Structure formats: structure tokens, C-alpha cells
Amino acid sequence: MSVVANGDGGERLQRFLARAGVAPSRRKAEAWIEAGRVTVDGAVATLGAKVPTGAEVRVDGTRVERAHGRPTVLLLHKPAGVLSAASDDRGRTTVLELAPRVPGLHPVGRLDLDSEGLILLTDDGDLTQRLTHPRYEHAKRYRVRCRQGTVDEGALGRLARGVRLDDGLARADAVRPAPGGCALVLHEGRNRQVRRMLAAVGYDVTRLLRTGVADLRLGSLKPGEWREATEEERRTLGYDS
């Protein structure tokens, strides 16, 4: 079978797959292409291939429809006990069950099961890549309550300087005391990172609320509520409209 290589016209194949909602990111789309799972007009595609207007794209033999219209971006207040996943084989409630049905919709990143707060939902794999890849270093803001109460100055200083976890050094970009705990900003998103950082300085987290991602804020959204991103918020995410 012939192989589709770089073309002069059309949308790049990785972006096509991500925007269509079948791949959660361009990186995943690239892995599919390298594995020979993607065809364009019947020919196996290679990295860098373009998708001309009207071309037929298939993944594992299933046709992929071209994305139309602008991408969907939703802000959701994830309640504690809800999975930040598209589905769950154990039947637990997921964030997608709290949002409208949109083809290709998926959560951007994750929040622990017992944590709550802002999570974005989108059908745009490119946006997911930009917000979750470590090189972009988007800030994540948290409000934490601890069993021991307000975090003292000594512990705050250690969080700002960095604490040693089992997967390496972790440092808060900004941290300040707040009633019953603290508020902090991170650009990383390791598994249960905030809880582990607080435990490293002697504090047990009883409630963890994510209040912001990049330039987006949770605002007045109540647990389980969602809203569409405003035009201004879409511009901060790199969209023209």
C-alpha cells in the first residue's frame, strides 16, 4: 500500500485528528500515525502528512469526520467524589456526566477523586496539549484546608523553597497563609502533589479546591455546575473568537 507523506495543502494530520476529538492530543495522534493506524484516502499516513479538503481519514478503519465550527471549551466545578475522566469501567460518576453531550469532549488534565474545583472540558486536542504539557508551565491555583489549621510561616517557607518527595523536588511558585490552611500556586501537576507537599511539612489536607487554571478562574460556580468559556477567556487560551 502507498504511504501518504508531506503534502503542500490542507490541515496537518495530527491537528486534524486532535480537533476531530478522536485523539486527546497531537502527541497521541502522532503515536497512532507512527504505528500505521491512520490512513488518508486509503494510503497509510506518515508524520507531517496533510489532509486536503474532502480527503477521507480513517483510524483503525473507522472514518474520522472533519471538525466543524469552533472548539468547545467548558469550565466545570468538579465535586469531590467525581472522576476527572471520560469514562469509568467501575461505573463511578465522571465529569462528562455533569456536562452537555459533545462529540470528542474530554477533561483537560486531572483532579484527584477527593479533590474539587475547576477543571476544563474541551473537544480540542490542541488545547489539551497546550494546557497539560510541562513545557508550557501554566499556573494552577489551590485553596487548601488542613487538619492542623492555618499553615505556619516555617512550613510556608519550606513549601516555597521546595520539599523532597518520592518523585523529586516539589516547590510552590507562590504560597501564603489562609484561614484554616493556605493558598498556593503550582505549575506542575504530579499525582496528589499538593497533598504530598503539605504532608511533607506536617499538615494533613482535609479539603483541596482548585480555584484557577492558567488565566481562568472558578469564580462563583458551585459544585457540579458548568459554563462555557467567555470570549475573553477564549482569547487568553489562544482562540481568535
From the CB of residue 44, how many other CB atoms can be counted at a distance below 10 Å? 15
pLDDT tens digit sequence for 22-77: 776 677 888 999 999 999 999 999 988 888 878 899 999 999 877 666 788 999 99
Give me the chain's average pLDDT, please.
89
Instruction: Examine the pLDDT at 5 and tell me if it is beyond 60.
Output: no
**Fold adopted by 139-213:** Pseudouridine synthase (3.30.2350)
Residues of the chain with CATH 3.10.290.10: 3-64
Q: Which residues pair with 122 in a beta bridge?
A: 73, 106
pLDDT tens digit sequence for 109-156: 889 999 999 999 998 888 888 888 777 778 999 999 999 999 999 999
Residues of the chain with CATH 3.30.2350.10: 139-213
At residue 241, the pLDDT reads 54
At residue 135, the pLDDT reads 74
At residue 137, the pLDDT reads 77
Superfamily of structural domain 3-64: RNA-binding S4 domain (3.10.290.10)
At residue 124, the pLDDT reads 85
> Is 41 tagged catalytic?
no
Q: Which of 8, 88, 112, 152 is catalytic?
A: 112
Better-scored residue on pLDDT, 48 or 163: 163
Q: Could you tell me where the DSSP H helices lie in the chain? A: 13-19, 26-34, 125-132, 153-161, 193-200, 231-236
What mean pLDDT is predicted for residues 223-229? 96
**Fold adopted by 73-123+219-236:** Alpha-Beta Plaits (3.30.70)
Which candidate, 198, 189, 200, places its Cα nearest to that of 165?
A: 200
Better-scored residue on pLDDT, 212 or 189: 212
Instruction: Examine the pLDDT at 162 and tell me if it is beyond 70.
Output: yes
pTM for this prediction:
0.74
